[in-house]
Structure 1
Amino acid sequence: MKKFLICGLGSIGQRHVRMIQTVTKGKAEIAAYRSRKLDIVISDKLEATFNQKPEEHYGLTVFDSMETALAWKPDAVFVTNPISMHVATATAAAESGAHVFIEKPLDCTDVGVANLIRAVSKKGVACMVGYQQRYHPGYLRIKQLLDEGALGSLISADLHFGEWLPGMHPYEDYRESHAARKDQGGGVILCLSHEIDMAYWLFGKPRSVYAQGGHLSDLELDVEDTAEIFLSCDNAGREFPVHVHLDFLQVPPRRYIHIVGDKGSLVFDYRANRLEVNLLATRVPEVTLYDTFQRNDMFLQEVADFISSGDKGKKPPIPLEEGVDVLNICLAAKRSLESGKKEVIV
């Protein structure tokens, strides 16, 4: 791939520009399709420089419409606009013959998903969904332990992520952000869906979903700010519970995963980059600190893998069908939150 189109130059769009420039060693041609055209440059640490055009800062060509952008014939399109626009944008990109990278989640409804699947299949393009947490070495070690059966038969799992929404992007009014707006696909279930994807990746597609929560705080938004999600997962033919907690409220942020099996347990604190594994056979804690880990490492690797998949004609590590599965789990949780009933996953 040589030509890249970025659809949306918010914080994640700008991060992907930097990742592409790094992975391609500055040899890529990068353009952007912009609609809001805010004059703000956002760094890896989410520090903002106002009254500066990102296209000038990064040296990008800018298009005013999707039609003219696709007429430029990009090799790949990065979909980094509001969640509610993901599938429509990705479908147009795939139909043009471009490889497609879609930021998480896939969308906020399943409308148009079948058309996207057909377009990707017909054109034979790579399509990857951006659940970069899978690249963290701590989660990779957890995946390895589970695949090896180190914890034995799984008994329970708890995934927890909470962060105060106004502090997530301090350079903008949270009330205007997509995370706070139903019309743009906001709410914790979709915006914090990394934990739902992690449960799916580690434990497979659940049999059913039940959720409680809603808009429980004084935050000014029209979406849920808290969700307690209960997934009924399968372990060697036995059902076991997985709990996912999500909120827009915690200061400081808190993020961890705790898994219990009949041969041991583990706890991974994402904020502290600390994994502790306790096996009954040894009774000696195995503690790993990921001191040298940098958050950008995950984004760099996922972009490198996406580019490699497109260039080599291989399925990407986080393919479209897995993004569809995670979206369906999220939508089932949304429905359960509204109805108060358990949703069966087909």
Structure 2
Amino acid sequence: MRALIIGTGSIGTRHVENIRELFPETEFVFLRREAVRDALADACRAEVVANFYETLQPRPDFAVVATPSGLHMDAITPLIEAAIPFYLEKPAVTRQSDVDALRRLLKENKFSGPTFVGCNLRFLESIVRIRDILKEGSLGTVVRTQLTVGQWLPDWRKAQDYRQSYSARSDLGGGVIFDLIHEFDLARWWFGEFEHVTGHSGKFSMLDIDAEDTATILLKKKEGPPLVTINMDYVSRQPVRRYELVGDRATLVWDLGERTLKKIGARETEIIDCGVSGFDMVDSYRTAMRHFIQCVETLQPTCLDVTDGLKTTELALKARLGVGL
């Protein structure tokens, strides 16, 4: 199997390492400006090229796009035209004009190859367990949900000056609304589509960035519950990812830091067993990549293709519009 890698920063490197672990016989070709080699390319014995069309001889079986989100269209366009399946880091794109252009491109090229947008939290067993519990209905009517996520940005990628990261630049897709888009994706995955989006955001901290570092977003469906509040920031000095789903029979509380999922009823609290890897974020990246490559091999659609991923992008775009960005 031959893999084309476009973007080998921190997340691109993670994907390469996961592919090597899962499918050791994979051949790699890296698309890089000026075809610069480094230790990663040497370790993978990767071919390194500067021109996309050089990657087609021989043709790759799939591509991984891990460039800054604001630059995704530059990589996606030739992949679709060449009918190459691709794994696309989240968010899919960061502008409504790109959403519209990507949909046209897919339609015009009648593109049907497997695609996947990298919202890997869907592969975390504890997150899947939440979805199962919602389907079972044991919470009753879920009236509100609060999704909280935050981390001190300078601690996020310790090998890189945070001021030089794409997270610091809104033009590259930085800012918490796009960077922490997992929570928008999970809201859709659990509850369906939302029509009304409001909120507030700003650059409030001492961080030296050109993007919003804090946002509180309220999602409302066209009719009925739940109301969903998403609180996100680059400021929390200790990483936090905590979800609360409040139903009229019971409440679910998921906490990644504590590695717990609790179901709180009127008289008792149940600790829900999510398995050995239930909160293993590293494993969720591997599982997502395995799923994508297996779909490439079997020509089956993935569970989160680019069409679905664009709906999450549009929800985030509504949030940005709602807060005045």
Is TM more than 0.5 here?
yes
Provide the secondary structure at the position in 2 that maps to 1:317. Answer: coil
Instruction: Compute the displacement of 1:329 (Å).
Output: 0.8
CA distance in 1, matches of 2:154, 2:56: 35
Identity of aligned residues (%): 29
Matching of residue 299 in structure 1 with residue 285 in structure 2? yes
Equivalents in 2 of 1:59, 1:211: separation in Å? 48
Q: Report the equivalent of 2:235.
A: 249
How far apart are 1:65 and its partner, in Å? 2.1
Cα displacement string for residues 58-90 of structure 1 (whole angstroms, at most 9, x for unaligned residues): 321111122322454211010101111113312
Partner of 1:314: 300
CA contact (8 A) 1:94 1:119 kept: yes
Q: How many residue pairs are counted as aligned between the two chains? A: 321
Counterpart Cα distance in 1 of 2:101 and 2:195: 26
Judge which range, 57-66 or 325-334, deviates more.
Answer: 57-66
Structure 1 distance, partners of 2:122, 2:285, is 10
CA 1:335–1:66: 2 relative to 1, 3 Å? same
CA contact (8 A) 1:163 1:250 kept: yes
> Which residue does the alignment assign to 2:197?
209
Contact 2:86 2:115 in 1 (8 A): yes
Contact 1:165 1:249 in 2 (8 A): yes
Say whether 1:117 aligns with 2:103. yes
Q: Is the 8 A contact 2:251 2:265 kept in 1?
A: yes
In the other structure, the counterpart of 1:267 is 253
Say whether residues 1:16 and 2:4 are aligned partners. no
Q: Mean Cα displacement is larger for which, 257-266 or 283-292?
A: 283-292
Structure holding more strand per residue: 1
| TM-score computed with the length of structure 2 as normaliser | 0.93
Which of 113, 123, 133 lines up with 1:135 in the alignment?
123
Q: Say whether the 8 Å CA contact 1:228–1:244 is kept in structure 2.
A: yes
Shift of 1:288: 3.2
What is the root-mean-square deviation of aligned Cα atoms in Å? Answer: 1.9
- Partners of 2:34 and 2:170 in 1: CA distance: 18
The Cα shift of 1:118 comes to 4.5
Query: 1:289 Cα shift?
Result: 5.6
Shift of 1:35: 3.0
Inter-CA distance 102–312: structure 2 relative to 1 (3 Å threshold): same
Matches within 5 A, 1:132-171: 132-171=120-159
Letter in 2 for 1:163: Q
Contact 2:145 2:246 in 1 (8 A): yes
Aligned counterpart, 1:46: none
3-state SS, counterpart of residue 300 of structure 2: coil
What residue is the counterpart of 1:27 in the other structure? 25
CA contact (8 A) 1:120 1:127 kept: no
- Residue 300 of structure 1: SS of its match in structure 2? helix
Is the contact between residue 91 and residue 115 of structure 1 (CA under 8 Å) also seen in structure 2? no
Displacement of 1:12 after TM fit? 0.8
* Contact in 2 for aligned 1:76/1:99 (Cα 8 Å): yes
Q: Match for residue 331 of structure 1?
A: 317
Instruction: After TM superposition, give the deviation of residue 245 of structure 1 in Å.
Output: 0.4
Q: Look up the match of 2:180.
A: 192
Identify the residue that residue 342 of structure 1 maps to in structure 2: none
> 2:271 maps to what in 1?
287
Alpha-carbon distance, 1:119 to partner: 4.2
Distance 2:259 2:275 in 1: 7
For the 8 Å contact 1:94–1:116, the answer to whether it is kept is no
Q: Distance in 2 between the 1:35 and 1:273 partners? A: 41
Letter in 1 for 2:26: A
CA distance in 2, matches of 1:245, 1:86: 26
Aligned to 1:233: 221
Unaligned segments of structure 1, at least 5 residues: 40-51, 340-346
Equivalent-residue separation in structure 1 for 2:304 and 2:219 (angstroms)? 21
Q: Distance in 1 between matches of 2:310 and 2:265?
A: 35
Q: Letter of the aligned partner of 2:125 in structure 1?
A: P
Deviating more after overlay: 115-124 vs 13-22: 115-124
Shift of 1:194: 0.8
Q: In structure 2, what is the Cα distance between the partners aligned to 1:233 and 1:59? A: 50
2: distance between equivalents of 1:12 and 1:37? 19
Distance (Å, rounded) in 1 between the aligned partners of 2:129 and 2:191: 14
Distance 1:70 1:323 in 2: 26
What is the Cα deviation at residue 36 of structure 1?
A: 8.3
Q: Is the 8 A contact 2:125 2:275 kept in 1?
A: no
Q: Deviations over 1:106-140 (max 9, x none)?
A: 11112233443344451321111000001111111
SS in 1 for 2:97: coil
Q: CA deviation at 1:279?
A: 3.4
Alpha-carbon distance in 2 for matches of 1:36, 1:82: 18
Give me the whole-angstrom Cα distance separating, in 2, the residues matched to 1:37 and 1:154.
52
| Aligned residue in 1 for 2:164 | 176
Unaligned residue ranges in structure 2 (runs of 5+):
none
Residue in 1 that maps onto 2:53: 67
| TM-score, with length taken from structure 1 | 0.88
